[in-house]
Amino acid sequence: MKHLKKFVVLSLVLLLFIAAGCSSQGSAGGESDGGGEAKKGNIKIGMSFQEMNNPYFISMKEAFEDAAKQIGAETFIADAQHDVTKQINDIDDMIQKDIDILLINPTDSDGVEGAVEAAKKAGVIVVAVDAQAKGPIDSFVGSRNYDAGYLAGKQMVEDLGGQGKVAILDGIPVVPILERVRGFEDAVKEAPGIEIVDKQNGKQDRAEAMKVTENMLQANKDLNAIFSVNDEGALGTLGAIEASGKDVAIYSVDGHPEAIEAITKGGPFKATTAQFPRDQVRIGLGMALAKLWGAEVVPTEVPIDVELQTKENAADFSW
């Protein structure tokens, strides 16, 4: 039962992919049996990432390239580098290249609305992946981020015995980050003995998170644990805690290889709620292709389950 939900979703995408693909290839004149217009000629797919300086997004990029190669699609990939203006310009460039599908991993959920509208006006199928995007998107595929924060928070509460002072290492203002923090805070609210004494933005960056954590540790001498919204930031936190020699536990979200290694070794890093980035991009592309090939019913939102990794089970996990 553990991965039943994910299996069902993947099966659904596979069925849509096969059914829509077969109908588009098997119909005379390039029309799909479902009544929609099938794509003629080479498919062009653009993918705009919020960043590429992170193994999480690198694994997503690899899955995207592999999936696109299987259908012979031409791909265009851009790295927004957490700059919403650059992401808008990157998407505009893709539109000018006459893409059929845009997979967008927004660096700012609200800020990309104009780019989404422009893509839709140009007839592009738009699917948001990992982070929700405002605007007329066709579908959204992302992790159950509230659950990710909640599971990490519950583990923290359990490990601290329901007593202690904790801090939050926040991130950029996109829906997944906001939901992780909300889930974590709700878990902590269930334990009156846990107090959130600090909340600062580590910008999901290792170097920035290390500096922010150093400040947290100095300002809160009796801090017991830190929740980071992502593993990249948590690894910066790990460096700061180890350098300080303090006994402060770390809880996070992602499933980053280095985080998994740190958890299995024991020490400050206690748990991370793992995501499945490869599944997200494969399902996102499946949703878009189903619509492109004439499927009449395509889910508007597909949530992907997450899984808590601790010292007891982390050794078997990988993206």
Q: How far is CA 71 from CA 64, 162, 171, 207, 215, in A?
A: 11, 52, 36, 39, 50
**pLDDT given for residue 41 in this prediction:** 58
**């660096």: which residue's tokens?**
107
Residue 8 CB contacts under 8 Å (≥ 6 apart), including other chains? none
Reported as a single tens digit per residue, the pLDDT across 286-318 is 999 999 999 877 789 999 999 999 999 999 999
Contact 16, 141 (CB under 8 A): no
Reported as a single tens digit per residue, the pLDDT across 91-127 is 999 999 999 999 999 999 999 999 999 999 999 999 9
**What is the rounded distance in angstroms from the CA atom of residue 209 to the CA atom of residue 198?**
14
Contact 261, 187 (CB under 8 A): no
Reported as a single tens digit per residue, the pLDDT across 117-172 is 999 999 999 999 999 999 999 999 999 999 999 999 999 999 999 999 999 999 98
Residue 119's nearest CA partner among 142, 140, 103 is 103
**H helices within 71-142, ranges in order?**
84-96, 113-121
**What is the rounded distance in angstroms from the CA atom of residue 187 to the CA atom of residue 210?**
25
Average pLDDT, the chain: 89
> Taking the model in full, what pTM does it have?
0.84
Q: What is the mean pLDDT of residues 244-252?
A: 98
Reported as a single tens digit per residue, the pLDDT across 171-219 is 988 889 999 999 999 999 999 999 999 999 999 999 999 999 999 999 9
Single-letter residue type at 45: I
